[in-house]
Structure 1
């Protein structure tokens, strides 16, 4: 994934460099043209004065540098002089000045325009060096500015990613009063509002679940007093599911409140796996290699029970729990995880009240399993097997 900071810094630096190059080029061209025009105008005016002086000397019979009827006189100069016009003309690096005199002859002067052209070339080199230095300096300044803006934008983006991953205490702490500071302040405001809403939701959920425990327990006791029969069995089954749901909600609330305690013991992984699925029909345990780990057995068994139950409910039997040292895999023969659910599982973990089937439903199994794994410093991985079926891997810390 491209970092927004580096991209923004590069774009700002390139934009500043392009602007500086355009400005330097425009200034250089403008100065070159104005200097060349002024230089030519000054040279022609001075050479015209020399021609006038030479014409007076020629008329007075004095010796002069001007010559009559030069054979190499450029055609434009000769044509203009025939019209009784005194002219100055730059042709091929040579400056000409000519004027008609008595007898229909043409008096002319010429000199090299090389000194002016050399001076103009020197000016061009100076403008080029100055423009390049200014462009580099401005580009460096733009790069520093872009890097600073990029770092601030990256900090805001990373904080937003942490918030999306569940770290609601993450903050940007903006500085300044520009647009990036406003964006950072908006991210902080969003995090505070989201945290407040989630905390209110957690409190309400925990309070409701806590208040339901007593009536649900009473219902479970009352079901035991009903006469045997199919209606009693249906009521007992429904009350049992309701009681399990209430306990699941309370467990999630405890994990959200970070009040769940981990009690570690030395236990065999195979023993925990067998106990976890002992009451589930259609689930078998396969031991490849066994090991002893220091963990909370109650939480490990809760994870495996939820994973196996989820596999039975949303996959298809047989469900196999494979123990390979500290790694436990739960696989089924169902259609596998839906692609959109796998995307969510890989990006942000299980979402509450979303299950692995394609029709939706209410379930907390994967959410509780992921929360318990996080408490144990274990890792859960969800994937679809190439041959079909879903597979969940629990890797316990050694």
Structure 2
């Protein structure tokens, strides 16, 4: 099952870069605003204070100046501070004051509007806002491009890993670059190479063992025919027959793994193939709801159905029902159903050969061969547990219509 990788690495990178850009722009704007405001105020206070000193000298020399004596609109805090011998500069309500005490105890004061500095600071804020927005947009676009590129590379690595997990061992990422995503992609490719080599070695060993076993098993079959009739001979004969069937199953799996098996198709009636498949199995009932003729490999279809019915008899409970509904064939039993851990594996990578579940029950090669044969025929084979109880395997053959 595919999982979205992109929830989303590209979007997350873009959002992170945009958030960082907004934070930096805002912090820079606030810092520049405060530094500029403090510098403007210090400069204005210094200039007005110098003018006040010049006015005090003019007052002492009885010369005219712009300063006023005891102005009625002088703020009370300024007047109190001056009368205590402090020369004061004071900004309040958009007016900058400078005041000092002259020799006769009078208060000499100057004032001017602080509006030019306020307008200048407002213009600076607008400029900072425009520059900040532009920088944020540009950095966010760059982050988006970087995030999209990273997301695309991560999705490519994820898709390749999913293809490898689904059996496509030739899939490769072929990474570029030297960052962490490139290392991850290279690790995926290395994993695929190692997995492919290991599976190929397993296939060769499986095929070689099964091939080497055919000769002694054939000799055992011949030897059984020379034994005198009796219960012991029958028991040995059944065991040898089961062993021969197992060897043939292993060879069949090896051929499918090596992808050398070829389907030989012809037109056959679905119900006829079903009846031939279960002819030797007791306690198997066949029902035909709707019949049709399909183009397929009848030997492989019958092998699939035989394995499914045998598996139902072996691991389920009688009776086993095989229902034909057009191109769909359902094999049902009345047992406890498939183990949950087996269904979890079936729905992801298919049945595993010689697999033993947590409950101690095995699946052998039957389901493995059935799934492999269905894949070769272009059919679909699904497994589930019925709500009313029992296991159900559904084979859907390609519909010629």
Q: Report the TM-score, using the length of structure 1 for normalisation.
A: 0.97
Within the alignment, does 1:295 sit opposite 2:302 as a pair? Answer: no
Within the alignment, does 1:71 sit opposite 2:58 as a pair? Answer: no
1:104 aligns with 105
2:195 aligns with 194
Structure 1 alignment gaps of length 5 or more: none
Separation in structure 1 between the aligned mates of residue 4 and residue 138 of structure 2, nearest angstrom: 25
- Cα deviation, 1:300-346, whole Å, max 9, x if unaligned, reads 00000000000000001111111111111111111111111111111
2:18 aligns with 17
Q: How far did residue 196 of structure 1 move?
A: 0.3
Q: How far did residue 125 of structure 1 move?
A: 1.5
1:241 aligns with 242
2:172 aligns with 171
Q: Report the TM-score, using the length of structure 2 for normalisation.
A: 0.96
Separation in structure 1 between the aligned mates of residue 255 and residue 97 of structure 2, nearest angstrom: 100
Separation in structure 2 between the aligned mates of residue 69 and residue 95 of structure 1, nearest angstrom: 16
Secondary structure of 2:245's partner? helix
2:329 aligns with 328
- Cα deviation, 1:217-276, whole Å, max 9, x if unaligned, reads 111111122222222222112111111110000000001111111111111111111000
Separation in structure 2 between the aligned mates of residue 105 and residue 380 of structure 1, nearest angstrom: 107
Q: How far did residue 357 of structure 1 move?
A: 9.1
Decide which moves more: 1-10 or 372-381: 1-10
Q: How far did residue 356 of structure 1 move?
A: 7.5
| Equivalenced residues, count | 398
Q: How far did residue 151 of structure 1 move?
A: 0.9
Q: How far did residue 355 of structure 1 move?
A: 6.2
Q: How far did residue 76 of structure 1 move?
A: 2.6
Secondary structure of 1:110's partner? strand
2:213 aligns with 212
Runs in 1 of length 4+ with deviation above 4 angstroms?
none
2:270 aligns with 269
Decide which moves more: 58-67 or 153-162: 58-67
1:34 aligns with 35
Decide which moves more: 48-57 or 177-186: 48-57
Q: How far did residue 62 of structure 1 move?
A: 2.8
Decide which moves more: 241-250 or 81-90: 81-90
Within the alignment, does 1:159 sit opposite 2:157 as a pair? Answer: no
1:181 aligns with 182
- Pair 168,123 (structure 1): closer, same or farther in 2 beyond 3 Å: same
Separation in structure 1 between the aligned mates of residue 83 and residue 63 of structure 2, nearest angstrom: 24
Q: How far did residue 80 of structure 1 move?
A: 2.4
Secondary structure of 1:88's partner? strand
1:349 aligns with 350
Secondary structure of 1:374's partner? helix
Is the 8 Å Cα contact of residues 335 and 390 (structure 2) preserved in structure 1?
yes
Secondary structure of 2:98's partner? strand
